[in-house]
Structure 1
Amino acid sequence: MTQSSVRAEGTRGGVRRGAQDHAVAREDGSGRSGDGPGSGHRRREPRRRGRRVLRWSATTLAVLILGTAGAGYLYYEHLNGNIHKGERSSGDAKAQKSRANAAGQTPLNILLIGSDSRNSDENVKLGGAKYDRGSPPLGDVQMLIHLSADRKSAAMVSIPRDTRVDIPKCTDPKTGKVYPATNTIINESLARGGAGCTLATWENLTGVYIDHWITIDFSGVVQMADAIGGVDVCVRQSVWDRPTAAVPGGSGLKLTAGTHKVKGKQALQWLRTRHAWGSDPLRAKAQHMYLNSMIRTLKGQNVFTDTGRLMDLAEAATKSLTVSEEIGTAKKLYDLGMQLKSVPTDRITSLTMPNVQDPQNKDHLVPDGANADKMWQMLRDDVPFDKHGKASAAKKTTAEATKAPSAPDDQIGVTVQNATATSTLGPVSGRAGTIAQALVQKGFTKASKDVTGGLTAQRTVVRYPSAELQGDAQRIAKSLGIPLSSVKQSTDVSGVTLVVGADWRDGTTYPKASAPKAGDLPAGSDAINGSDKGQCMDVYAPYRW
């Protein structure tokens, strides 16, 4: 900048001399300031010299501009080089993208995963146990960030790490190792094919299509917390999350009662603390409080318009995060941040999936049936979790496009599968046969049941393999009262296939559920509004000091 300023001053000096000569010429009305050829020549010289200075300065300025642009490009590529990327989904998932509303907008769902990886010196130092080094990481923090189609509201939904769920068949994209489907706690999904397997697990559980995933490990949390400059958190009693005679381990968090700004390692301790709050769901609540406070802090700092702060945050974020490959550039991550920034804090709701104790293991949890299903339906239908929005405001209902079936009812082939099992309940025996028989009675005489066992699906769906069978699949759905939005094309089937899901456990007509209303949250969700600054954690008695 100093060189540029000096050169500009020289340019202005040259212009002033040329201007003075031109003024003299105008005074005698001749267009020249002297009579002889020699005098005219001498008076034209300053003009040429001024023009040379102008040309030289313009060239210099162009070089500086191009140099600055080049430096910006190199820095952008540097940020891109920091980012680690992976496959979006590595598991067997069936969720479909939400349809666009009348304005052409769709919701955006991002799965945030906190990894307990100890596979670096820094992570071992921050996370304890050296004997865990080299072990597959577990996803101890799992949170779905949902941005509404109109980008006017958002939700952050957690599933506690010890929740038992169905994990689908997954293939590790790095090694090619195939992991069979299993039923175990959800934090193990990360070790069975990476973040893409965790994403597939969420999609199958919720029926919500997830656009992207982002993972962060221990050291990443510390870097991000330092870049932000600290986040305010609150405890009602003095807390020390330490080993006790009854329970080993602990995060090491030690704070006096009241509000504190935590950053670096202390921020990580806050996010990892579980024993001192009393349960894993309460740890999720503490994490929600931290993230809400962080969003308020970033909005208050105007970090998105402060170039210096933004660069610091960009450096930390790109070094700290691993992301699904379709958002693997600094610009795309910045765009995601700007979309979240646009949501007012009083339209952000943080909540935890309603859960109950696992009947198979008192130390584990399972989804709380109807309450959990209601939460997933609100996400699928893009219904705001806060009361400031309108029910289904971002989802305009339009007439479903229908196609004529390719054959009469008695010539339409359809296979019925029983996928009514859930993490909490076993399958309803004979469900496929019951629905197949109901179809036969309706005139679909080629309907048959599939005897394959162990199938699970959150929602009932009719699948068809190719476009010419779409009308057949729609005809089957209509006859049973299944909405046409649940008719999906899929390469996983060879003919029209009706998958009877956990949402249809009895009867032969698909149950019509009442549409949830904005702000009508299910019981047990422990919701927090993003603008609530008065949230404070209670400390479990053994961890007070």
Structure 2
Amino acid sequence: MARSSVRAEGARPGAVRPAGGGTPEGDGPGGGGGAGRGRGHGRRPGRRHRVLRWSAMTLSVLILGTAGAGYLYSQHLNGNIEKGERSSGDSKAHRTEPNAAGQTPLNILLIGSDSRASDANVALGGGRDHRDSVPLGDVQMLIHLAADRRSAAVVSVPRDTRVGIPECIDPETGETYPAADTIINASLGRGGAGCTLATWENLTGVYIDHWMTIDFAGVVRMADAIGGVEVCVNQNVWDRPLPGVPGGSGLRMRAGTKKVEGEQALQWLRTRHAWGSDVLRTRAQRVYMNSAMRTLRGQNVFTDTGRLMDLAEAATESLVVSEEIGTVRKLFDLGMQLKTVPSNRITMTTMPTVADPENANHLLPAGDDAERMWAMLRDDVPFDGNGGEEGDDKDGSAKASAEPSGHSTADAAGVGVLVRNATRSGTLGPVDGRARAVARTLVERGFDKATADTSAALSEQRTVVRYPSDESAGDARRVAEALGVPASATRKSTDAPGITVDVGADWRSGASYPRQKKPEAGDLPDSSDALNGSERGTCMDVYKPYRW
């Protein structure tokens, strides 16, 4: 594919670029024209519709949970649903171990596609010459439902974040895409949603059960289905073209709270310049999402058969899903699980990021802050602190690593162990010599057949001990015990050449695996800019040039 699949949305503070055209419309003079007009600097038309996906995808799931009576015509609804392969990339993520009650978390990846591969999408997004362009995943969010289903988290990764994309095989064409170091929205065009899922698993270390995607036409259906939503600004706002800064959404509102719907809701979601940055635009989208979720929860659609059917129809026509959840009944079950989580136990946030030194318009994961967030997801620790003692002290939470304990050297002698260096992570390069150092430790502790593979160039967020068969599980546990690695970090992997220790980014020094501090509920980094689902009255500050 000769056409580049990487198109930066632009604009961090100090590097503002146009967001697209549009003349002002609203409750002040100069209205008219709307958001559907001109573009600046050759930007692809239709970018304004992408930001709606941030809200529409999660609302699709919630609406499916509301539309339980849809089973009455489930065969029709099932026919609406398109399906695809869950994973098409190289990923080593594994499911979180069940807690004492046998429960496991549920992770769903929501992807907004900019595909124009239909007349409807061309009409909404414009640019018929882009019909065959490689689709990009411009909006990507992970919904995490806790194992006990008492809390949930929604985490987005900005579209221009540079990450490692693994080797992927397109399930439709069979084309193989080599691993790449580029921005995350390019993953969708390198093997479909299954490649985006594998990219997220490698970035986070979190096993992702399902994916869902939505395109332009689906966004519009879902926007119509939800109706008006209350939003708030602290100052009068007019997101309009200014000298040297063309474009703008056309959003025009007076200070205070207002219900937005239709085109004005679209303008709210696509506004960037008036907030000051892309990061603040994601905050405005989360404000909208929180309000929209409360609005949807408050609608008693079960008493209105016509509205109920409209909601079910819109949701099933709007989503493409991974094949293992490709029936309306399974989607309904997912929606019901989401719907039962109280609003004050839902946290919406964004992965902490830093500027990419190689490109001012790109971002990188913010080291320790980003890793703390992913560790909380992997260990199923609530992002909120509203669960009380019972909610915060779940049996499924991670325990501190045990110190290496005594073991029989007779059991260790003759056990072959391969140690690989997988300490590379994000912006951190690999630590030289880690495989050899850990192999020496194993030899000292009786595993005389332990050797280091110095040719491997791997990346693992957490150290893992892999074994190829049930017969070798006991030896793998003894290896983990000798190093102080928790038993939960042992994994059966049929592609493992034998018992294999992959020394991860969490063990960059020392002979024994470092004791891991148990994350605490609500212990998110400040840079995550979290919003709680129950928050009301959150207002956006307007960047001074866009006040009136």
> Which TM-score tier does this pair reach, normalised by the shorter chain?
0.7 to 0.9
2:311 to 305, 310, 313: 313
Counterpart in 2 of 1:442?
A: 445
In structure 1, C-alpha distance between the alignment counterparts of 2:399 and 2:353, rounded to whole Å: 34
Q: Could you say which residue in structure 2 is the equivalent of 1:27?
A: none
**SS of equivalent to 1:288:** helix
What is the identity, as a one-letter code, of the residue corresponding to 1:491?
T
Residues 308/175 of structure 1: CA separation in 2 closer, same or farther (3 Å cut) = same
Whether 2:270 is the aligned partner of 1:272: answer yes
Pair 1:308–1:457, CA change in 2 (3 A): same
CA drift of 1:127 comes to: 3.0
In structure 1, the partner of 2:540 is: 537
Correspondence for 1:134 among 132, 135, 139: 132
2:514 counterpart residue number = 511
Partner of residue 100 from structure 1, selected from 93, 98, 102:
98
Task: Sort the Cα spacing of 1:123 and 1:244 in 2 relative to 1 into closer, same or farther, 3 A.
Answer: farther
**2:438, 2:382 → 1: CA distance?**
34
Cα distance in structure 1, aligned partners of 2:346 and 2:213: 21
Q: Does the aligned pair in 1 maintain the 2:162–2:363 contact within 8 Å? A: yes
In structure 2, distance between residues paired with 1:248 and 1:489 = 55
Post-superposition shift, 1:405? 9.9
Post-superposition CA distance 1:116-157 (Å, at most 9, x none): 223333333433444432112111111111111221111111
Separation of aligned partners in 2, 1:350 and 1:72: 28
1:524 is paired with a residue whose SS is: helix
1:78 aligns with 2:81: no
Map 1:423-462; keep pairs closer than 5 Å. Answer: 423-462=426-465
Amino acid at match of 1:134: D
CA distance in 2, matches of 1:407, 1:250: 72
**Deviations 1:475-512 (Å, cap 9, x if unpaired)?**
11111111110000112211111111111111121111
**Residue 298 of structure 2 aligns to a residue in which SS?**
helix
Alpha-carbon distance in structure 2 between the residues aligned to 1:412 and 1:85: 45
Match of 2:179 among 178, 181, 197: 181
Q: Is the 8 A contact 2:353 2:366 kept in 1?
A: yes
Work out whether 1:488 is the aligned partner of 2:484.
Answer: no
Amino acid at match of 2:154: M
Match of 2:158 in 1: 160
Bigger helix fraction: 1
Length-normalised TM-score, structure 2: 0.81
Give the TM-score normalised by the residue count of structure 1.
0.81
User: Are the equivalent residues in 1 in contact too, given 2:108–2:210 (CA < 8 A)?
Assistant: yes
- 2:422 corresponds in structure 1 to 419
The one of 218, 221, 244 aligned to 1:220: 218
Residues 70-119 of structure 1 show CA distances to partners (whole Å, capped at 9, x for unaligned) of x9878321111111111111111111112222222221111111122233
User: Which residue is 1:48 aligned to?
Assistant: none
| 1:89 matched residue in structure 2 | 87
Q: Which ranges in structure 1 are unaligned for 5 or more consecutive residues?
A: 1-70
Paired position in structure 2 for 1:393: 394
Give the aligned partner of residue 54 of structure 1: none
CA deviation digits over 1:261-303, x for unaligned, max 9? Answer: 3334443443333343333322222222222112101111123
Q: Deviations over 1:370-413 (max 9, x none)?
A: 1111111111121111111132426278999xxx9997323111
After TM superposition, give the deviation of residue 165 of structure 1 in Å.
1.1
Q: Is the 8 A contact 2:415 2:475 kept in 1?
A: yes
**1:246 Cα offset (Å):** 3.8
Percent identity between the two aligned chains: 68
* Structural RMSD (CA): 2.6
Alpha-carbon shift at residue 250 of structure 1 (Å): 4.5
Q: Contact 1:206/1:376 (CA < 8 Å) preserved in 2?
A: yes
Determine helix, strand or coil for the equivalent of 1:295. Answer: helix
Contact 2:380/2:397 (<8 A) preserved: no
- Cα-to-partner distance string for 1:152-206 (whole Å, 9 max, x where unaligned): 1111111111111111111111111111111111111111111111111111111
Distance 1:251 1:444, change over 3 A: farther
- 2:70·2:312 contact (CA, 8 Å) conserved in 1? no
Indicate the residue corresponding to 2:232 in structure 1: 234
**Which secondary structure state, in structure 1, belongs to the residue aligned with residue 542 of structure 2?**
coil
For 2:193 and 2:241, how far apart are their aligned partners in 1?
31
Amino acid at match of 2:414: Q
The amino acid across from 2:527 in the alignment is: G
Equivalences, count:
473
TM-aligned CA distance change 1:505 to 1:258, over 3 Å: same
Q: Is the 8 A contact 1:218 1:268 kept in 2?
A: no
Larger relative CO (CA 8 A, sep 6+): 1 or 2? 2
Task: Specify every segment of 5 or more residues in structure 2 that has no aligned partner in the other structure, as ranges.
Answer: 1-68, 402-406
Amino acid at match of 2:382: P
Letter in 2 for 1:363: N
> What is aligned with 1:198?
196
For residues 74 and 495 of structure 1, do their structure 2 counterparts lie closer, same or farther at Cα, with a shift above 3 Å needed? same
What is residue 284 of structure 1 aligned with on the other side?
Answer: 282
> What is the alpha-carbon distance in structure 2 between the residues aligned to residue 131 and residue 358 of structure 1?
31
Report if aligned partners of 2:416, 2:450 keep a CA contact under 8 Å in 1. Answer: yes
Q: How has the CA–CA distance of structure 1 residues 159 and 102 changed in structure 2, closer, same or farther, with 3 Å as cutoff?
A: same
Q: Matched residues in 1 for 2:544 and 2:118: separation?
A: 35
Q: Indicate the residue corresponding to 2:37 in structure 1.
A: none
